[in-house]
Amino acid sequence: MNRAQSQFQFPKPGNWGKLILTAVFADKNSFIQSQRFTQDDISQEQAETFNEVVTRIAVLSDE
């Protein structure tokens, strides 16, 4: 595992405004920790920016 990871999950693909963000990282004692966030846990500005990024990435994978 890398020192830290960000994992993004979308419970309803296509609805990029609903997400689960999991931060996985090693603490100071090298134990693996994880914290989960939803769109309700981040600021409106962060949510809008994240939504724009995901929308652009999703378009790249369209056939």
8-58 pLDDT per residue, tens = 888 887 777 788 989 999 999 989 999 999 888 988 888 888 778 877 877
- pLDDT of 42 reads 86
Query: Over the Cα atoms of the chain, what is R_g?
Result: 14
What's the pLDDT at 49? 84
The per-residue pLDDT for range 50-63, each reduced to its tens digit, is: 778 877 877 776 55
Q: What is the largest CA-CA distance in the chain?
A: 45
Predicted TM-score (pTM) of this structure: 0.64
Number of domains in the chain: 1
Residue listed under structure tokens 């996985």: 24
Instruction: State which H helix or E strand residue 11 sits in.
Output: none
Domain that holds residue 47: 4-60
Looking from the CA of 10 toward its CB, the CA atoms found within 13 Å total 11
